[in-house]
Amino acid sequence: MPTRVLLADDHPVWRRGVRDLLAAEPDLAVVAEAADGEEALAALRAGGVDVAVLDMEMPRVTGVEVARAVQAERLGARVLALSSYADPSYVTGLFQSGASGYLTKDQSPELVVEAVRAVARGEGRWFVSPAALADPAAGLSDRERDVLRLLAEGRANGQIAEALFVSENTVRSHLTSVYAKVGVGSAREAIVWAIRTGFADGGA
């Protein structure tokens, strides 16, 4: 069964372009469209949507409010957020509001296809467009950066603690903070994020 997609954006030309791209993919199907947040929420509550591609600045009900409702009401769909804002704290806030992935709207429509697949696989938390985070680790402290680099090298918590001369509880505390700041939920996702953004190669 193809991944069932809701497209929600108040720009009909953009929706049509992305719909045509998705229609060409046998594993993806647009099952609903919405021009504002109220229509998007109604479609999600009706069920049958796997991934909701939501513009965060829609009229009437914003995409952020829709994402929060999806999370609060356990509607079963994953949210791919679209926004013009690239501030790291804003991106982290979207993840905390229930988004599973994020793209800035200056990205090509073709990239949405890849992002939808990533979100459907449960990998979209780290699918952040490069423009969103000029320095993807800008919000991390120096010690959190150290912990994340060692984690990305494949070291266990005990090894990280030994390398940094701290306790394992301290390492776990730092990792919890790292996960929240970069919008991931596990060590595996944090490693993928570090590789994807270039952080593991010393790029941040």
At 64 the pLDDT is 85
Fold equal for 3-132 and 142-201: no
The architecture of the domain spanning 3-132 is 3-Layer(aba) Sandwich (3.40)
Nearest one of 86, 78, 23 to 54, comparing CA atoms = 78
- CATH of 142-201, picked from 1.20.120.1760, 3.40.50.1100, 3.30.540.10, 1.10.10.10, is 1.10.10.10
Higher-scoring residue by pLDDT: 11, 125:
11
Give residue limits of the domains in the chain: 3-132, 142-201
- For 60-84, what is the mean pLDDT? 88
Q: What is the pLDDT of residues 123-147, one digit of tens each?
A: 755 555 555 555 667 678 889 999 9
At 86 the pLDDT is 63
What pTM does this model have? 0.63
End-to-end CA gap in the chain: 40
Give the separation between CA 129 and CA 114, rounded to whole angstroms. 11
